[in-house]
Copies of this chain bind each other. A is one copy, B any other.
Amino acid sequence: MPAPIEFSVTASDGDARNGRLVTGHGEIATPAFMPVGTRAAVKAMAPDELWDMGYRLVLANAYHLALRPGAELVRDLGGVASFMGFRGAVLTDSGGFQAMSLAKINSIDDDGIRFRSHLDGSLLMLTPESAVEIQQQLGSDIMMALDECTPYPAEHGRALKSLDLTARWAERCHAARTSTTQALFGIVQGGVYPDLRKRSADQITAIPFDGYAVGGLSVGEPKPAMLEMAALSVSMLPRDKPRYLMGVGTPADLLAAIAMGFDMFDCVLPTRNARNGSAFTSAGPISIKQAAHARDRRPLDPACDCRPCRDHSRAYLRHLFMSGEILAARALTEHNLHFYANLMKGAQAAIASRNFSSYAKDVSAGWPVNESA
């Protein structure tokens, strides 16, 4: 039986590496950033615009899609990629994080997560088995095992209990998977404790998943702790499988994580910040709301060749944002996703020429230290 995905490392520079990830919906060059398309839509963007920017893999959310329009409906309409009109591949998260954070009432035990829908209050249960079944119905190319995302702060005992539960759920997810065309990734937890990160990595990598993710980071812990736990975790993951750092992050975080050997990333920053009026640029982030931009004829980023930077001045974009025009969200989202796509393309080129550390240094030279401010 062929594996649902193939992964091979095509170049490396230190721990950083380029990879080729082959799915049923095409190939993805890694390191790859996945735009977040929670409800089978990357907010404000058309699917062919994502494709044209070079995105070949986007993330969608199993919790949201299971509630509306329903996983069976998405299955009947050809699976999530076809449903959303995207020519590339889709990764779905398990829905566990949203069931815990968005649902009105929830409780968690060995069985799974009991919660009430944030849409209609109906009582629902997410188990490792149902999380896999939902994702199989959604037809994503990469499914994620149900995990408990350990919150921050969490005491050592709480984090230990959480990762052990995640490991038991991971076994059940792996056993429940029946699809031969959809990959399934396991998730390492462990909070900010090195011994627990090691324990979780040992447990999860003992299960023959198609790829491995590091979760429970960028949930409020200090940046040095995030970077330390990410580096420690990735060092314990198999080198021949894709390695995914969940929920990270800023451009500087991505460069740091690529240097550690991560291959895949997702984050709401480029899309959510865009809707809040913040743009990533080669000189660091700018807030389009600021009065300083009211008469500024320059584009968001003079070094950028995206459509909004070709067509619009900062003055016009500020006017759109202050007026609540949808085009403001569109333009800043397109620009930010273009910025992230180019950051990844630049990283891939630098790794191929064994030049990654000077690329990372050069590209971030103009950024302030905390570039997500």
Q: A68-B319, A77-B297 are in contact. Are A307 and B39 (CB under 8 A)?
A: no
Chain B residues within 8 Å of A43, by CB: 325-327
A109 contacts the other chain (CB 8 A): no
CB–CB B326/A76 < 8 A? no
Q: How far is the CA of A331 from the CA of B84 in the complex (A)?
A: 12
Least Cβ–Cβ distance between A36 and chain B, in angstroms? 13
Q: A46-B311, A85-B311, A311-B47 given as contacts; is B76 within 8 A of A40 (CB)?
A: no
Among B44, B77, B297, B313, the residue within 8 A (CB) of A327 is B44
Given the known interface contacts A85-B312, A316-B77, the answer about A48 and B307 at a Cβ–Cβ threshold of 8 Å is yes
Report A55-73 residues with CB < 8 Å from chain B CB.
64, 68-69, 73
A interface residues, how many (CB within 8 angstroms): 38
Query: What 0/1 readout, one digit per residue, does chain A (298-327) give for beta carbons within 8 Å of chain B?
Result: 000000000100011101101110110111
A260 at the interface (CB under 8 A from B): no
Contact between chains at A69 and B294 (CB < 8 Å): yes
Checking B39, B69, B83, B295 against A77 with a beta-carbon cut-off of 8 angstroms, the contacting residue is B295
- Set of chain B residues within 8 Å of A76, measured between Cβ atoms: 295
Write out the residue numbers on chain B whose beta carbons fall within 8 Å of the beta carbon of A331: 46
CB distance from A179 to the nearest CB of B (A): 22
- Decide yes or no whether A226 CB sits under 8 A from chain B: no
Given A76-B295, A77-B295, verify A316-B48 contact (CB < 8 Å): no
Q: Are A48 and B311 also in contact (CB < 8 A) when A69-B294, A77-B295, A295-B77 are?
A: yes
Within 8 A of B (CB), among A213-252: none
Complex interface: chain B residues within 8 A of A46 (CB): 307, 311, 327, 330-331
CA distance A326 to B46 in the complex (A): 10
Asked whether, in the complex, the Cβ of B316 is within 8 Å of the Cβ of A326, the reply is no
Contacting pair A326 B44 (CB below 8 A): yes
Residue-wise, chain A 81-113 has the 8 Å CB interface mask toward B (1 for contact) of 001110000000000000000000000000000
Residues of B within 8 A of A269 (CB): none
Q: A39-B323, A323-B68 are in contact. Are A316 and B83 (CB under 8 A)?
A: yes
What residues make up the interface of A, taking CB atoms closer than 8 Å to B?
Answer: 39-41, 43-48, 64, 68-69, 73, 76-77, 83-85, 294-295, 297, 307, 311-313, 315-316, 318-320, 322-323, 325-327, 329-331
In the A-B complex, list the 7 residue pairs whose CB atoms are closest, starting with the nearest.
A85-B311, A44-B326, A69-B319, A39-B323, A41-B325, A41-B327, A85-B312
